[in-house]
A and B are shown apart, each in its own frame.
Chain A
Amino acid sequence: MAERVLLRHLDVPDIHKLDVYLAHGGYAAARKALTTLTPEQVTEQVKASNLRGRGGAGFVAGMKWGFLPKDSPKPVYLCCNADESEPGTFKDRAIIEWNTHILLEGILITAYAIKCHTAYIYIRGEFAFGARRLHEAIAEAYKAGFLGKNIFGTGFDLDVYVHRGAGAYICGEETGLIESLEGKRAYPRIKPPFPATYGLFGCPTIVNNVETLACVPSIIANGPEWFKSIGPEGSPGPKIYCVSGHVEKPGLYELPMGMPLRTVIYDYAGGIRGGKKLKAVMPGGSSFPVLTPDEIDVHMDFDSMRKINAFLGTAGIIVMDEDTCMVRALEIIDRFYHHESCGQCSPCREGTGWLHKLLLRLEEGNGRPEDIDLMDRIAGNMMGNTVCVLADAAAMPTQSFLSKFRDEFVAHVTLGRCPLKKNGTGHRQAA
């Protein structure tokens, strides 16, 4: 790709400021959409582009918008999901802080397409700087007439509000987000009904991720065919890969969708730190199965990942070298899900708690031989039995760690300590 789209601030400094954004073609796509296309045509173009949700699930954005009831008497809401809390993921934060207006332009075009006049940006509470950046950009956009009443003289009105969360991963789940926005505990809702028919304040609602919405202006500006030509046709577009852990150059890389995982790790992120050997990779945040070194030739797009029983997720690539203790790594992961379980469903609340407890025991050298199969069974019982998929998000990595690194779990039991460390256990030590 010539110029970056989502991380354009790396090519155009200060693009978070309205005058710079405008000097580089900003809001031209929104103007084109609002003044020359009908809402239905905008939706058609986004559907034709095959833009798939970047929040983790990869649902076709244009198709989701198409689920809204036609001519609903109730208002339609748009929620921008800026809760970004998936471990290993830090892409939305970059867009929010440094390419702020592309997000607002994406929200404007999307709101027009779905006939919505009030949009909320639900941003995680920790992103105080991002919230400030959004407030500044929104104020600029109102002043310039890109938000508010009668935008571009078309009679279309849109208000955008920033709503800050306060430290709960489950607010990223779209119905948890809606509950939280309504001023409640973020208990995910039973689906159906889906938000498109019964969402925020009981009204038709679309929830889209920051990166998804930030892709929309480029589709309108360059056409769906352009978008589809970037990466694989079934899962195309520019994509931000987040690389962290044991690599030489951790950070964000905007590349076409569908890059081989090996290329991202070795050619862009500089390979494994200190010339060490690769041991394991979580390719899409911590909520999905772990991959071993012989699996990293997979292409990073929604469909290719599914073929090897993996998931693209958020493309939060967590890299672990040969010295990493897999028991300790899984203990951190399951601690997270236990801490973040909202507690509504017993398989999730109890299951994540048991898993974490058994892993701590294993790390402390007190694991029993039967614990490994017990954890696998607990994880198996958590899947597909709960209100939301957080339980699955804990179960999938657990089962994959247990099967792909079984010897290491067994060694912890038989040795009564971590085999990678000369003395003592892995608990409270680096992973």
Chain B
Amino acid sequence: MAVQFSQETYRQFEEVLTHYPTKRAALLPTFWLAQEEFGYLSPEVMEYIAQLLDLSPAYVAAVASFYTMFDKEPKGKFHLQVCTNLSCTLVGAQQIVECLEQKLGIKLGETTPDGKFSLSEVECLGSCGTAPVLQLNTGDYYENLTPERVTQLVEELAKQA
């Protein structure tokens, strides 16, 4: 099989197995390790995980599909996820979305042709006191957003790409 964890990730995987009395319980942590290492959960990656955990590939795929943070296809290098739940919308999330759509030339759910940026809307990020908010990839939150701030953010990221 083509895909395989690096030595360091495999070590982390073995450590994770010790946290649970069943192998299956390690499925979500293993998805996280795999997404970190391979970028997204391709069918080959899921097959590899199925082997590691003695599960069927169909089962693994069914579980992965339930969780929105596991990417089943490649996303842009910078995935901007804007919260459009109530508290964020009350203070301007829609302007943030529109500003990003215009700046990036894509709509919600799309990726720029160069593969640098993806744009999505997400539900409440648990940061409503500093709304509007977006999350970059599966990491940092950017809070108290204004059209100026997100414009600046996109420009900074574009330079990094």
Do A and B originate from a single complex? yes
Stretch from B5-13, B63-71, B109-117 at the A interface:
B63-71
Whether A164 contacts B28 in the complex (CB less than 8 A), given A87-B124, A87-B128, A169-B123, comes out as: yes
The CA of A250 and the CA of B67, in the complex, are separated in Å by 30
B86 partner, pick from A85, A125, A431, beta carbons under 8 A: A431
Report B51-76 CB contacts with A as 1/0, cut-off 8 Å: 00100000000110011111000000
Which size class do B's interface residues fall under?
A: 35 or more
Does A336 reach chain B (CB closer than 8 Å)? Answer: yes
A110, CB-defined interface residue at 8 Å: no
- For the complex, is A245 an interface residue (Cβ under 8 Å from B)? yes
How many angstroms from the CA of A321 to the CA of B141 in the assembled complex? Answer: 26
Closest Cβ of chain B to A336, distance in Å, is 5
Q: Which residues between 118 and 133 of chain B lie within 8 Å of chain A, taking CB atoms?
A: 122-131
A162 to B45, CA, bound (A): 23
A/B pair count, beta carbons within 8 Å:
148
Chain A min CB distance to B100 (Å): 14
Q: Would B125 and A126 count as touching, CB distance under 8 A?
A: yes
Among A75-103, those with CB < 8 Å from B are 84-90, 92-93
Asked whether B129 lies within 8 Å of A251 as measured between CB atoms, the reply is yes
- Known A-B contacts A124-B126, A242-B128; A430 and B87 likewise in contact (beta carbons under 8 Å): no
Given contacts A126-B138, A246-B90, contact A89 B126 (CB under 8 A): yes
Over the window 79-123 of chain B, the binary record of Cβ atoms lying under 8 Å from chain A Cβ atoms (1 yes, 0 no) is 000001111011111110000000000000000000000000011
- Chain A residues numbered 300-332 whose CB sits less than 8 Å from any CB in chain B: 316, 318, 320, 324, 328-329, 332
In the bound complex, what is the Cα–Cα distance between A91 and B3 (angstroms)? Answer: 40
A282 to B124, CA, bound (A): 15
B150 contacts partner chain A, Cβ-Cβ < 8 Å: no
For chain A, the count of residues having a C-beta within 8 Å of the partner chain is 57
Q: Can you spell out 30 A-B residue pairs with CB atoms less than 8 angstroms apart?
A: A85-B123, A87-B124, A88-B87, A88-B128, A89-B124, A89-B126, A90-B129, A92-B126, A126-B126, A128-B140, A129-B139, A161-B19, A163-B19, A163-B28, A168-B67, A183-B22, A183-B27, A184-B24, A186-B66, A201-B21, A242-B129, A244-B87, A244-B90, A246-B91, A251-B129, A286-B85, A318-B87, A332-B86, A333-B86, A429-B94
Partner-A contacts on B (CB < 8 A): 19, 21-22, 24-29, 31-32, 53, 62-63, 66-70, 84-87, 89-95, 122-131, 135, 138-141
